[in-house]
């Protein structure tokens, strides 16, 4: 079946540091890939997505590239802010299956 593996947290960074959160997946065919963010006390929000190989999703300074050869979708941001502190979930939607499969989530803490 489908699965998503993402790095354990928490990740603690200083403001303006570079962020990478690793995500790899297992799926048959050509899944769509997503990053969702959950701010404290709020629901999940879509951060970015990619629907086919080599697509790059980007939003709010965050980027992730769909790498089929390495089955990865790593999240990056060049300069994090305190307001980026949240839990980040990598997820996939497999072919013919519309529900999402989530990774375990990575908590990011950005210190001033």
Partner 1 sequence: GAVVSQHPSRVICKSGTSVKIECRSLDFQATTMFWYRQFPKQSLMLMATSNEGSKATYEQGVEKDKFLINHASLTLSTLTVTSAHPEDSSFYICSARDIYDITGGNEQFFGPGTRLTVL
- Contacts with partner 1, residue ranges (CB under 8 A): 32, 34, 36, 42-46, 49, 51, 89, 93, 98-105, 107
**Of residues 15 and 56, the one with the C-beta less far from partner 1:** 56
CB of 72 to partner 1, least distance (A): 18
Where would I find the beta strands (DSSP E) of the chain? 3-6, 11-14, 19-21, 23-26, 32-38, 44-50, 56-59, 62-65, 75-77, 86-93, 101-102, 106-111
18 versus 39: smaller Cβ distance to partner 1? 39
Q: Tell me the backbone φ, ψ of residue 84, rounded to 5 degrees.
A: -85, -5
CA 36 to chain centre: 6
Judge contact between 76 and 62, C-beta under 8 A: yes
> Nearest approach, Cβ of 36 to partner 1 (angstroms)?
8
CB of 107 to partner 1, least distance (A): 8
The distance of closest approach from Cβ of residue 44 to partner 1 in the complex, given in angstroms and rounded to an integer, is 4
Q: Which is nearer to partner 1, 43 or 112 (CB)?
A: 43
């Amino acid at each position: 079946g489908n699965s998503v593996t993402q790095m354990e947290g928490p990740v603690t960074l200083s403001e303006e540091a570079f962020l990478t959160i690793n995500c790899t997946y297992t799926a048959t065919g050509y899944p769509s890939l997503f990053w969702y963010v959950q701010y404290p006390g709020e629901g999940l929000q879509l951060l970015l997505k990619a629907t086919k190989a080599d697509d790059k999703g980007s939003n709010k300074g965050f980027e992730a590239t769909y790498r089929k050869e390495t089955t990865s979708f790593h999240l990056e941001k060049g300069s994090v802010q305190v307001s980026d502190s949240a839990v980040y979930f990598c997820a996939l939607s497999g072919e013919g299956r519309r529900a999402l499969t989530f990774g375990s989530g990575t908590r990011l803490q950005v210190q001033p």
